[in-house]
Structure 1
């Protein structure tokens, strides 16, 4: 990880501390939440009243609705944000990110990384970048170019550390990504493919 915000404690970080960190972000806050990790996730989002949408589309989106990753907008005073901190932090429910891009553009950027090609078989595989355990393995393998491509014009990505600390990948460290849009993902696909064999889904319901 490029930078981390470490919180005091013995490895069990109080949800209130993480909530304070999230609310202190200057840019608009979003989360990508994994319905495969929590069976109540879709109902939770439907009842929260915040804008959300699956990263999957069409028939795939319908078929995988109960295990899909969902992008949700999180105002700093959102009751959903507080609930996610209290119930989900430390359970690999997803990742958080900041972005000045509109909701649709943020979703469009994230959708580019849903699939990767296995270098050994040529098969298209789901890439669970939104699982913080996967993200912690993926980012250290990235070159500067790959990290730039992955972040695009996002402000930052915030995810759980192994001990519950807040790990931050800061978009400002790859400011060249802000100058133009990323339209293809060969570098990220290469990094994801290279490490795919090391990843094991923690939940058999995950696609």
Structure 2
């Protein structure tokens, strides 16, 4: 029951242009409600909720060059020496725009390749970056060490996030209105 309240999977059409159109609707349209146990009061005119992408440079080492080239507002989710020393292994967040060549390129060329995840949040990119940096490492009680947690991996999103204990889930999603992750080239998972 809780998993149904936290996530929904959407099957995407086989036709590439129809798939991109549906992805843009999910990423830039009104936030999708799928919790049928709660009644949500909403306006007839939805408020625009900014869309962000987190891309792991391990999969796309030139991502910062692309962000710069397409004039996107972006940040590294690591900071200090780690951000400098491991720039080609770091996650990067950027704000997406619906009518932008980068968004079109990302959805047509990158979707289904496991590069990262999409977020919707009313928070600014700086506020969201500060929030997400808290989750870059997790402590292993077994090994007594800190480990990197690549929560921005579609695999981690699918296999870990929906099953977190309630308080941990709420803490992670506190500044995130909606999180989207590919399951495959033909399927998108939405977590709310």
Q: Which residue number in structure 1 is paired with residue 26 of structure 2?
A: 21
Deviation at 1:46, TM superposition (A): 2.0
Deviation at 1:47, TM superposition (A): 1.0
1:7 is aligned to 2:11:
yes
Structure 2: gaps (5+ residues)? 31-47
State the distance in 2 between where 1:147 and 1:35 align.
25
Partner SS, residue 73 of structure 1: strand
Tell me the TM-score normalized by structure 1. 0.75
Deviations 1:97-153 (A, max 9, x none): 011111111100000000011121111111000001111111233122221111012
Instruction: Determine which structure has the larger strand proportion and give its number.
Output: 2
Contact 1:71 1:107 in 2 (8 A): yes
Partner SS, residue 117 of structure 1: strand
Deviations 1:135-191 (A, max 9, x none): 111123312222111101211111112453221111xxxxxxxxxxxxxxxxxxxxx
Contact 1:15 1:89 in 2 (8 A): no
Deviations 1:73-93 (A, max 9, x none): 112222211111111110111
Contact 2:182 2:188 in 1 (8 A): yes
What RMSD in Å do the two structures reach over aligned CA positions? 2.1
Q: How does 1:93-112 map to 2 (within 5 A)?
A: 93-112=115-134
Question: Runs of 4+ in structure 1 displaced over 6 angstroms?
Answer: none
State the distance in 1 between where 2:91 and 2:159 align.
19
1:150 is aligned to 2:172:
yes
Deviation at 1:8, TM superposition (A): 4.5
Structure 1: gaps (5+ residues)? 171-207
Contact 1:29 1:73 in 2 (8 A): yes
Say how many residue pairs are matched: 170
Tell me the TM-score normalized by structure 2. 0.80
